[in-house]
Amino acid sequence: MDQPVPPAAKPASWLSKLGPGLITGAADDDPSGIATYSQAGAQFGFGLLWTVLFTYPLMVGIQVVSARIGLVTGHGLATNMRRHYPKPLLYFIVGLLLVANIVNIAADIAAMGDALKLVLGGPAHWYAVGFGVLSAALQVLIPYTRYVRILKWLTLALLAYVATVFVVQVPWAGVAAGLLVFPRLPWKPEYITTIVAVFGTTISPYLFFWQASQEVEDLHARPGARALKYAPELARASLDRIKTDTWFGMGFSNLVAFAIMLTVAVTLHQHGVTDIASSAQAAEALRPIAGEFAFFLFSLGIIGTGMLAIPVLAGSAAYAMAGTFEWPNSLEDKPALAPRFYAIIVLATLLGIALIYAPIDPIKALYWSAVINGVVSIPIMAVMMLMAARPDIMGALIISPRLKLLGWLCTAVMTIAVVAMFTIA
């Protein structure tokens, strides 16, 4: 990493700029998120569509900050926290992240198993085990430069939800009214709870750790590359690439969330189905109302996005643990070179598999996962914003006033959401 960086070749197209941001955004629409968006559409129709537009710039802002920290410093979030902040704070954050990620993994693989059962029949639990084992094996056995291509292709699975919008009849006048509903919000406890759930699903801590670490992985994958802090002459092109990647990735994520909410609103909500407990239940409920094709697309989307989200959940947990305890960590390394890093990936996935057999109410598990994600996101975002503004960490590449405002606004919104969650609980 001590050699000078040769001038980067001009990208062939804007598609070459898409990578960590695209994968991170797509992973945000995991089966648990699909369940949340489905419940929002079923319970309130078009009344929560505005949340997708509201969270988009906030999501972009905080993810750009996380990506910049990784690329500028050459280290992930946990390593930077360990170097510059008290260890008890780091242990608290990483501990909560691990718990939330494992619960999310359990919920996601259970939903994938249920979705495949709906399509093929058979034992949902065994399908779930198979998905979990396959995901862990792919991360362990395939080097990062090849595996990341698989993740990029998996993002296409989310187009299934965009396609369902064209299968159902959409009253666009009602959609427009839903997007403009904010000034006359029905401030009831269940409405606020669902808003908090949508915010918590959209802005999640594991996404921060993953995107920062993927920028570091991409840096290490380029021969002779160095962190931007030590190669500021390359900053403009690299930071422009991060912005393009993140704006597109988070836009893709929110487009899919919008499509899910809209599809469920024009089908289930308008037919009196207002209580959805899981993504698989949403798919099953669509079948008699929207037809077999919409059901099939919705179900396959659950499986595809689950295969994308589980590696991100397990991988972000491993990056966080490795950064905390100074372990070697890279998906490009063979397992023998980073045994504890890969052990966390496998262990987090296996614990997620084990949880689907535990006598735990899945709805309560998802609720508490959202609570934990909401709580832990606040100190993580606050520390990220402080780090990104420190010259001793970022060198001359501290964040701009505009990005600082957007990041702190996102932190404030999540703080209000968490306070509201506990107030109305």
The three state secondary structure string of the chain is CCCCCCCCCCCCCHHHHCCHHHHHHHHHCCHHHHHHHHHHHHHHHHHHCHHHHHHHHHHHHHHHHHHHHHHHHCCCHHHHHHHHCCHHHHHHHHHHHHHHHHHHHHHHHHHHHHHHHHHHCCCHHHHHHHHHHHHHHHHHHCCHHHHHHHHHHHHHHHHHHHHHHCCCCCCHHHHHHHHCCHHHCCCCHHHHHHHHHHHHHHCCHHHHHHHHHHHHHHHHHCCCCCCHHHCHHHHHHHHHHHHHHHHHHHHHHHHHHHHHHHHHHHHCHHHCCCCCCCHHHHHHHHHHHHCHHHHHHHHHHHHHHHHHHHHHHHHHHHHHHHHHHCCCCCCCCCHHHCHHHHHHHHHHHHHHHHHCCCCCCHHHHHHHHHHHHHHHHHHHHHHHHHHHCCHHHHCCCCCCHHHHHHHHHHHHHHHHHHHHHHHHC
pLDDT at residue 412, as a whole number:
94
Nearest to 43 by CA among 186, 172, 202, 256: 186
Lowest mean pLDDT among 10-19, 146-155, 228-237, 383-392: 10-19
- Inform me whether the pLDDT recorded for 8 exceeds 60: no
**Contact between 28 and 211 (Cβ < 8 Å):** no
pTM (whole model) above 0.85: yes
Q: Which two tokens stand for residue 311?
A: 């590696």
Q: What is the rounded average pLDDT for all residues in the chain?
A: 85
Answer for the pair 131, 349: CB distance below 8 angstroms, yes or no.
Answer: no
In this prediction, residue 367 has a pLDDT band, given cuts at 50, 70 and 90, of low
Residue 153 CA, chain-centre distance (Å), reads 16
The string of pLDDT tens digits covering residues 79-116 is: 999 999 999 999 999 998 998 899 889 988 988 998 89
In this predicted model, what pLDDT tens digit does every residue of 247-285 receive, in sequence order?
999 999 999 999 989 988 888 888 888 887 777 778 888
Indicate whether 33 pLDDT > 60: yes
Report the distance separating Cα 241 and Cα 247, nearest Å: 10
- pLDDT greater than 90 at residue 375: no
Instruction: Write down the domain spans for the chain.
Output: 18-424
pLDDT at 209: 95
Decide yes or no: CATH 1.20.1740.10 for domain 18-424.
yes
Q: What does the pLDDT average to over 169-175?
A: 78
Share of the chain above pLDDT 90, in %: 37
Residue 278's pLDDT is 75
How confident is the model over 360-387, as a mean pLDDT?
A: 79
CB 317 within 8 A of CB 129: no
Distances in whole angstroms, Cα of residue 210 to Cα of each of 58, 70, 214, 215, 415: 17, 10, 6, 9, 22
pLDDT of residue 9: 42
